[in-house]
Amino acid sequence: MSNRDFTNRYYRIIAIAAAISMSSCSMETGFDAASGVSRTKRSGDGARDFGVFNFTKECGIPADKLDDDNAIMFEQSLTSLPIKISGTQMGANYEVTTQAKINISSTSKRATQAVKINVLKTSANAPGIIGWFAPGVVKNTAEKQASANSGTRTSDALPQKEWLHLVDGGNPEYKGLLCAGQGGRTVTIQEGQDNAVIQYSPAVISSVSPLAPIERLRKELGKSRTFRITVTVQSSSPGFASGTVQGSTTVREVSPAFECQGTTKQADIAYEFLNEFPGGAYKVGLPKRQVMYIDSKNKRFVAIINEDDKVDPQLKKTLPPVCLVSD
């Protein structure tokens, strides 16, 4: 195989891993999902030695799909446990139970995250004439909100040459990040009537890869890593940030034992993401806090727990952190 063929194949491999990286879903029942990338060493003349890095062994990328741009590299569905929201409004006591379903699909070019919020049950009671209308009003309002938070997010990876430059030392914060997480550049959001195109610079690390072995994750991420990010909201509906803002993403390992809305669960390894931006992380398309629990043997997520700072203050009183579990 010629050196050019090797180079093209290497860039394709990076794109495959990059596409596994999911955009985050900032909503009341949202989440964020998977990621990963790899590279080779450079020699003094700039040529790359393609024999020094085993992409399948080190990063867990399927060897039989490395050369197919259209192959689905990672696919998983997660469903939240029932989410109960209760409160009082205009004299009526109400309760709404919803459930989120997320489908993740990645090729070497991009990753798509489809989110569907379903209303499972609504109820309302109030004295007098308000009691006649309250159940219907609550049901209609809940279904509108569910529709507004359903939609798709498409994540396009940072161009391969730029990412290679970052992890080879172009930016110390990203140095050596070969398999654990790969940077995303552009996210396109379409949820209900909301839409946005958001760019992250140098890149946003939105998750860890469930494909990579535990020892590789720990080698690259250590106990904690922080990435400073400049975000430009190119076009959007009201509610997103205007223009360019700066913030940070911190990734740190946490206990793999956790409670998912009252149910105790266990993973092999887990990482917490903390996104800090002026006015709230949701303004730049990210969750405030997210914890990803990984089943390293089966290369899947056990669960993802999401805490969003977009939630209405009244809902925060009763809305628990959203917990999505593997189907």
256, 308 in Cβ contact below 8 A? no
Instruction: Tally DSSP H helices, then E strands, for the chain.
Output: 5, 17
Q: What is the DSSP string of 87-101?
A: EEETTEEEEEEEEEE
Peptide bond into 202 cis (omega under 30): yes
Give me the residues paired with residue 102 across strands.
Answer: 78, 115
Residue-level pLDDT, tens digit, the chain, 327 residues: 444 443 343 344 433 333 444 434 434 432 222 333 333 343 333 333 334 677 778 888 777 776 676 778 889 999 998 888 888 877 888 999 999 999 988 876 678 889 999 999 999 988 887 778 888 988 998 999 889 889 999 888 877 778 788 888 889 999 988 888 767 889 999 988 889 999 999 999 888 889 899 999 999 999 999 999 999 998 778 889 989 999 999 999 999 999 887 788 999 999 999 999 999 998 999 989 999 999 999 999 999 998 877 765 555 555 667 888 987
- Strand ranges, E, within the chain: 41-42, 48-49, 74-80, 83-89, 92-106, 110-125, 151-157, 184-191, 194-204, 224-236, 243-254, 257-260, 263-266, 269-276, 289-295, 300-307, 322-326
Report the pLDDT value the prediction gives residue 39, as an integer from 0 to 100.
36
CA atoms within 13 A on the CB side of 37: 35
Token pair 């990063």 in the structure block, residue? 59
DSSP secondary-structure letter at 171?
A: S
pLDDT, position 317: 52
pLDDT of amino acid 316: 53
> If we measure between CA atoms, which residue out of 147, 166, 161, 148 comes closest to residue 204?
166
d(CA 72, CA 16): 9
| Maximum separation of any 2 CA atoms in the chain, in Å | 83
Task: Name the 3-class secondary structure at 113.
Answer: strand
Nearest Cα to Cα of residue 274 among 247, 303, 298: 247
Encode 11-23: b = buried (16+ Cβ within 10 Å), e = exposed. bbbbbbbbbbbbb
Other C-beta atoms closer than 10 Å to the C-beta of 119 total 18
Query: Which residue type occupies 11?
Result: Y
Rounded to an integer, what distance in angstroms lies between the CA atom of residue 291 and that of residue 271? 6
Rounded to whole angstroms, the Cα distance separating 158 from 11 reads 12
CB atoms within 10 A of CB 266: 12
